[in-house]
Structure 1
Amino acid sequence: MTDLFSKFDGLIEQRRALLSTGVTDPFNLVMEKVISPTVAVCNGRETILLGTYNYMGMTFDPDVIAAGKQALDEFGSGTTGSRVLNGTYAGHRAVEDALKDFYGMDHAMVFSTGYQANLGIISTMAGKGDYIVLDIDSHASIWDGCKMGDAEVVPFKHNDIEAMEKRLKRIPEGAGKLVVLEGVYSMLGDIAPLKEMIAVAKAHGAMVLVDEAHSMGFIGPNGRGVAEDQGVLDQVDFVIGTFSKSVGTVGGFCVSNHPKFEILRLVCRPYVFTASLPPSVVHTASTSIRKLMHAADKRAHLWENSKTLHAGLTQRGFKLGTATPQSAIISVIMPDLERGAMMWEALLHEGLYVNLARPPATPAGMTLLRCSLCAAHSAEQVQTIIGMFERAGKAVGII
């Protein structure tokens, strides 16, 4: 009889071999106590956090925490219902209003996670007979949305404008077309040439969805993301985002100016058939989003942190995912998974937590140590981090 687990045997053996070397399981680390956006206790010792996506450091903002506590007292712990039934509270409307104000758009729809936002909008907008043209390095939630919607999926080489145009030219006349892009790609931390890509998409009559999960709050004059930074936000049909990065809680959303957008609340299955976010979450999110509208100083400091870390690691001989700092993500390319895990553990012993990212989640089969900077990291912490990387890199033989 076929064992349904047998398809995972290769991964099971790879994991067994990795753990047999005595390395700490890099995918099962426990945060025993979280002290601040940048420090936690891991394995009994204080550790600098450099792998949390907490880009704007909002998780411990006093106003955000107070809003969540008040909502718990006034509205209870959960809605126990879908948004289209009993699950829309005052806080859900308030967070959608905050998103509309933040992006300057007419419509906002909040999902229970960012994953569900991509799954829901993509699968609902592009179905059988439609075409989705997307970057090969797109997030898993984008690919899963494509699969669920049953559209024809046409991938193109990462950030290649010419390849994207070739795919669009081959789509039959009159077919529905959706181009899906990301502002910042989370593995290498590189940005997309959205201005040029959106111009090509519009020239071929396609709608455009941009996932700004890793740029919201940080990139652009108002923190609206790469599309704003490149001056093309008004040409994007759907912006997808998340509350689990810069906003500092959990949830997902889509904002749009399309006049027919509101019908999606009745036809989008991952919105209709799941429980809505708890009141405490939506109140923390709306408070955080409104504060991010006035966070220019934090954005400037985060850019300084990114430039400093990128330069410091480059100067010490590490190979990075981008030639210049493009976002709050800086990825350090490892020779292979085994040495990547050794380097990850050496950094943990130094008192630094980063993400170990491995295939198939990574592009081109790379093993990466992914660093996510935070606006709450001090300049001194960034210098300490560079020293930790240098010592660990020499100990493991990476540099």
Structure 2
Amino acid sequence: MSIFDKFDHLRQTYDSLGDRAHNPFSVSFDRIESATEGVLGGRRVILLGTNNYLGLTFDQHGIDEAVRAVQTLGTGTTGSRVANGSYAGHGALERDLAAFFGRRHCMVFSTGYQANLGMLSTIVGRGDHLILDSDSHASIYDGARLGHAEVIRFRHSDPDDLYKRLRRLKDVPGSKLIVAEGIYSMLGDVAPLREIAAVKREMGAYLMVDEAHSMGVLGEHGRGLAEAAGVEADVDFIVGTFSKSLGSVGGFCVADLDGFDILRVACRPYMFTASLPPSIIASTRSALQRLDRDKGLRTQLMANATQLHGGLRALGLEVGPHISPVVSVALDEPEVAVRFWNALVEGGVYLNLALPPATPSSRPLLRASVSAAHSPRQIQKAVDLFGEIGRELGILPAEPFVELPRIAVGAV
């Protein structure tokens, strides 16, 4: 008997991957050459699975600001935000984010995961109700578990089911908080936020939107799905991350509600975690400024997403329902998916492999994330390689069929 026996089901899944050249769960890059290229196992690969949506990880101004911060403020704060870990830059970044979203308040966390963990475990408690989309990110579920509110799930992106569940709670005491995401990370689909906001208004609930994958992607100013859908006034809390469009690490929550700042001494994941290093704060502020002023990045990003989504769909592969920077191909068998993923890496394209039960449809996914920094040539190379491998594995017919592209999510 071992303390690790409880993980036998995971070990069986891991072992079932077989003896492949590359293991998707233990990838270690030799080096990263740019926002779109790296070296893996001695092979140069296109990076098509990094969530680096605006390609800002190698932005020169951001690098310069980070270096300057290290040289003047050191490598870390060695303390939490409520101890010695609040420097001038931390407050400045919170003010920048609040201004960007048009809100009065902002809290910055050390990771995006902690932003969800901290907010959801703090703002609702015993006697309250947390109503989650069934396909919510792991950080949302973990935040729900850490707190003490009653958790209720509604069917994925189904406002009617949300309404039915809230209606049953109409006369039940306690606050009700709905949680949805802008772009869902597995399939790249977009929440029906206008309809969800309408339910929220009618039922007197609060609404939190996780814009992790939609900040910098959707909306005229890049504020995410709430902006694109025209419902910013209905969203009480916006949570996001720096590790996607802003090219660093960290998370945040912005809000307009009176009394928000009490969360700084009520939220345990905020209080008891070391704050972000000054270099991260500096590069993140630089990236936010670039996002705010350079709309061309979003335009190029959506053009690249449209090229990849349309190219894979034209091959006959099953992709997600919306065009977004997350472009996933669904397959039927995990073993085939592992072989496909290894062949992509061998052919010079790195992306993510997601296996059940971590996928919403219990089917394996080859998950790509597009960047504004990708060139049309790189996107086409990936499409061509998908087609070549798909035909070799017998997944695709000998000749691809052609179908009109779908409407991009930017039109929401």
Distance 1:150 1:359 in 2: 28
Q: Which residue does 1:271 correspond to in 2?
A: 270
Contact map agreement 2:127 2:173 (CA 8 A) in 1: no
How far the C-alpha of 1:205 sits from its partner, in A, is 1.2
Q: Which residue does 1:186 correspond to in 2?
A: 185
Written as runs of structure 1 = structure 2, the 5 A alignment for 1:266-345 is 266-322=265-321, 324-325=322-323, 327-345=324-342
How far the C-alpha of 1:29 sits from its partner, in A, is 1.0
Written as runs of structure 1 = structure 2, the 5 A alignment for 1:56-205 is 56-171=54-169, 172-205=171-204
Q: Which residue does 1:26 correspond to in 2?
A: 24
1:326-363, CA deviations, whole angstroms, 9 ceiling, x for partnerless residues? x2101100111110000000100110001001122211
How far the C-alpha of 1:220 sits from its partner, in A, is 0.6
Q: Which residue does 2:4 correspond to in 1?
A: 5
1:257-291, CA deviations, whole angstroms, 9 ceiling, x for partnerless residues? 11211111110000001110001001111111111
How far the C-alpha of 1:23 sits from its partner, in A, is 4.5
Contact map agreement 1:19 1:25 (CA 8 A) in 2: no
Question: Which letter maps to 2:274?
Answer: A
Question: Which letter maps to 1:92?
Answer: H
Secondary structure at 1:77 match in 2: coil
Q: Which residue does 1:391 correspond to in 2?
A: 388
How far the C-alpha of 1:173 sits from its partner, in A, is 2.9
Distance 2:251 2:317 in 1: 34
Distance 1:289 1:19 in 2: 43
Distance 1:23 1:336 in 2: 19
Secondary structure at 1:310 match in 2: helix
Secondary structure at 2:31 match in 1: strand
Contact map agreement 1:51 1:353 (CA 8 A) in 2: yes
Identity %: 49
Using structure 1 for the length normalisation, give the TM-score.
0.97
Distance 1:108 1:221 in 2: 21
Secondary structure at 1:127 match in 2: coil
Distance 1:257 1:175 in 2: 20
Secondary structure at 2:386 match in 1: helix
Q: Which residue does 2:403 correspond to in 1?
A: none
Question: Which letter maps to 1:95?
Answer: L
Distance 2:127 2:174 in 1: 7
Contact map agreement 2:328 2:365 (CA 8 A) in 1: yes
How far the C-alpha of 1:97 sits from its partner, in A, is 1.6
Contact map agreement 1:23 1:341 (CA 8 A) in 2: no
Contact map agreement 2:73 2:278 (CA 8 A) in 1: yes
Question: Which letter maps to 1:132?
Answer: L
Question: Which letter maps to 2:359?
Answer: T
Decide which moves more: 168-177 or 385-394.
168-177
Written as runs of structure 1 = structure 2, the 5 A alignment for 1:359-398 is 359-398=356-395
RMSD over aligned CA atoms reads 1.0
Distance 2:15 2:379 in 1: 34
Question: Which letter maps to 1:365?
Answer: S
Decide which moves more: 168-177 or 25-34.
168-177
Q: Structure 2 unaligned segments of length 5 or more: list them.
A: 397-412
1:166-219, CA deviations, whole angstroms, 9 ceiling, x for partnerless residues? 110111433211001101100000000111101101211111100000010111
Secondary structure at 1:338 match in 2: helix
1:361-397, CA deviations, whole angstroms, 9 ceiling, x for partnerless residues? 2112110000100000011211111111111212222
The size of the alignment, in residue pairs, is 395
Distance 1:120 1:266 in 2: 11
Distance 2:152 2:16 in 1: 37
Q: Which residue does 2:48 correspond to in 1?
A: 50
Q: Which residue does 2:406 correspond to in 1?
A: none
Question: Which letter maps to 1:341?
Answer: V
Contact map agreement 1:346 1:396 (CA 8 A) in 2: no
Contact map agreement 2:128 2:173 (CA 8 A) in 1: no
Distance 2:187 2:16 in 1: 26
1:277-312, CA deviations, whole angstroms, 9 ceiling, x for partnerless residues? 001001111111111001211111111111111111
Distance 2:196 2:50 in 1: 30
Contact map agreement 1:102 1:290 (CA 8 A) in 2: no
1:99-148, CA deviations, whole angstroms, 9 ceiling, x for partnerless residues? 11211111111000000000101110111111011100000110011111
Contact map agreement 1:51 1:354 (CA 8 A) in 2: yes
Using structure 2 for the length normalisation, give the TM-score.
0.94
Contact map agreement 2:107 2:253 (CA 8 A) in 1: yes
Decide which moves more: 374-383 or 69-78.
374-383
Distance 1:346 1:231 in 2: 43
Secondary structure at 1:299 match in 2: helix
Contact map agreement 2:54 2:245 (CA 8 A) in 1: yes
1:246-265, CA deviations, whole angstroms, 9 ceiling, x for partnerless residues? 00000000011112111111
Contact map agreement 1:64 1:287 (CA 8 A) in 2: yes
Secondary structure at 1:288 match in 2: helix
